[in-house]
Structure 1
Amino acid sequence: MTSAEAPGQQSEPALRADAERNRERIMEAARRLYATEGLDVSMASVAREAGVGKATLSRRFATRDELVNAVFTDRMEAYAAATAAALADPDPWHGFTHYVETICSMQAADRGFAGVLTASFPGATAIEARRAESYRGFLKLISRAKDTGHLRADFASEDLVVLLMANAGVIAATADAAPGTWRRLVGQMLRAFATPDAPLPPLPDAPDSADLYRAMARTP
């Protein structure tokens, strides 16, 4: 019997398989917690949700940036794809409005991703690379949309960042009490960005006053 086969010991492939399973468990736990609670979830909470010890978590992901990078890389790929799709739209104004709605919808579907879009993670190299790529594409989209005469000349790229920050706040505040409220915000903001004669998608209904009150009552 070799040392790898001795009782109580695992072979190197088995150890690697265990490590990969732990990594996947940690990532799935982080996805669940980030999606419902946002990025303020502690690493200790992620470890508890995954059913692993803090040491195991630290071996797989030494920092929060590393974990965020692993969890949200696929969503940042979708973010970059949305930018590319908007640039490919033969109507730049439609591409612009659809892009804004798409990105805000992605935020609403995942509170963690809502936070990722409004924060920087220097240690999350894949995320930051996609963010930079998408930003460059968005600058082109702005220029093309302005050329149509439908996007206000004074619109700046920072205005989208402000919208994403506001949208993240609305999503967190309304949660399941008035979950469609963000759509009204986005509809109103598109009207603020547009010139008077610009074609716009229908304005979503205002949130129900009782639902909004419940959301307000729950907000600290």
Structure 2
Amino acid sequence: MAAQSRAPRADAARNRDKLVAAGAAVFGQRGLDAPLEEVARRAGVSIGTLYNHFPARQDLFDAIFPARLAALDEIVERSLADPDPWHGFVVYIEGFFALQAEDRGLTDTLARRFPMSAELDAACHRGFADLARIIARAKEAGALRPDFEPPDVVTLIWAMSQVIRESMDAAPDAWRRCLGFFLDGLRAEAAHPLPVQALTPDQLARFLG
């Protein structure tokens, strides 16, 4: 009897794993508004099985994105381990957008096209703190312009998300050229006074909704 009860649980676990893998693939290719029926087909299960495991689309998002967040953590580690603070900053920025460019779902998430769970929102706040360390390190080395602040990266994410989303099919590497211009403008020796200040914490909170 115990063996019989374990079998359905094992099947359910396998189906869940297949759905998470299929969801990551489908959302990565088509974005977060991809049909859930396609996810079920890719996993080889019925749409009813999908809803049994993930009653809401958000539940499937929440199961998929820890792996992407782990990839971001690895980029942070490489950035902070780089002996050259400027290159470490570039490693972070380029690595971040490379992840976006290969995953439409991540692009949609960062552009806030869909609500974030509390867990993902907390992960974004941790990432923001890591980013502040990376920026401070490059500024202390005299390599990054002194008026660049972490909220400026948030506005860049929104802008680059649009570039990546619109050019992904026709010119998937177009974002690299845009980012190259941006990075050149961030070097300390290229700095000129800016017309407005960085976003305040209150403005940033309102900006992110």
CA distance in 2, matches of 1:102, 1:123: 24
RMSD of the alignment, in Å?
2.4
Match of 1:37 among 15, 30, 35: 30
1:35 partner amino acid: G
Which runs of structure 2 are paired with 1:27-176 in the superposition (5 Å)?
27-119=20-112, 121-123=115-117, 125=119, 127-176=120-169
TM-superposition CA deviations, 1:172-216 (whole Å, max 9, x none): 212232111011011111122222369xxxxxxxxxxxxxxxxxx
2:126 partner amino acid: E
Shift of 1:122: 4.2
TM-superposition CA deviations, 1:103-132 (whole Å, max 9, x none): 11111121112223333754362x334322
- When you count helix as a share of all residues, which structure comes out higher? 2
Shift of 1:62: 2.6
1:33–1:46 Cα contact (<8 Å) kept: yes
TM-superposition CA deviations, 1:56-105 (whole Å, max 9, x none): 21221233232112212112011012113212222221111111011111
1:110 partner amino acid: D
1:150–1:197 Cα contact (<8 Å) kept: no
Unaligned runs of 5+ in 2: 192-209
Describe the SS at the equivalent of 1:81. Answer: helix
CA distance in 2, matches of 1:133, 1:80: 10
Shift of 1:37: 0.8
2:101–2:168 Cα contact (<8 Å) kept: no
1:22 aligns with 2:4: no
| Count of paired positions | 190
Q: How many percent of aligned residue pairs carry the same amino acid?
A: 38
Structure with greater Cα Rg: 1
The TM-score with structure 1 as length reference comes to: 0.76
2:89–2:138 Cα contact (<8 Å) kept: yes
2:89–2:135 Cα contact (<8 Å) kept: yes
CA distance in 2, matches of 1:148, 1:66: 43
